[in-house]
Amino acid sequence: MNLWFRLLLMLLRRPWRKPVSAFDTTVVRMRVWPLDLDFNRHVTNGRYFTLSDVGRMDYVLRSGAFRVALRHKALPIVGDVWGKFRRELKLFEAFEIHTRMLGWDEKWSFVEHRFVKDGRVVGVVIMRGLFRGRKGNVAPGEFALELGLPEQSPALPDWLTQWSASCDRLSSQLRDEEQ
């Protein structure tokens, strides 16, 4: 199954799905299709990142974040993604993607996607991203206020702030190499 088909299916189901608060967890149900598999006949690691996009789109639509982005004429930008794979998903198995906002700092928002099968977490994808408009990045605190959240993020776990700092260092190194 192509990502576009899954996105279309998610959008067609949207009118029957209830809006959520920005700190709620959204759940999208899916099934493993042949094009999701690698040579080991399980979901390829890169496909988890792609499927996370569907979960994130559902979250952005249901939480109202898309309205805030439209007001700012901003588009979502993924900065970095990290994945942890615990168990495999095989052909035709049903699974869910549980998406939730972890918090934000002065530049990035952090979103978690848990891949769940039979009540067990089989993989986790963490994304840090932002919304960029014509006037530059929309500050996550400002974005949060418009979603009805406090401007200050809940405390981020140490592992998450360390990962984000590592991503910043790598970005800096890459910029230095370009010069």
pTM value is 0.91
Q: Domain total for the chain?
A: 1
Q: At which residue do the structure tokens 């029957």 appear?
A: 16
Q: Specify the CATH number for the domain of residue 16.
A: 3.10.129.10
pLDDT digits (tens, 9 = 90+) for 61-96: 999 999 999 999 999 999 999 999 999 999 999 999
Task: Note whether 163 and 126 are within 8 A (CB).
Answer: yes
Percentage of the chain modeled with pLDDT above 90: 84
Which domain covers residue 42, as residue numbers? 3-178
* 65: alpha, beta or left? (left if phi > 0; alpha if psi -120 to 50): alpha
pLDDT at 111 over 50: yes
Q: Would you state the pLDDT for residue 1?
A: 45
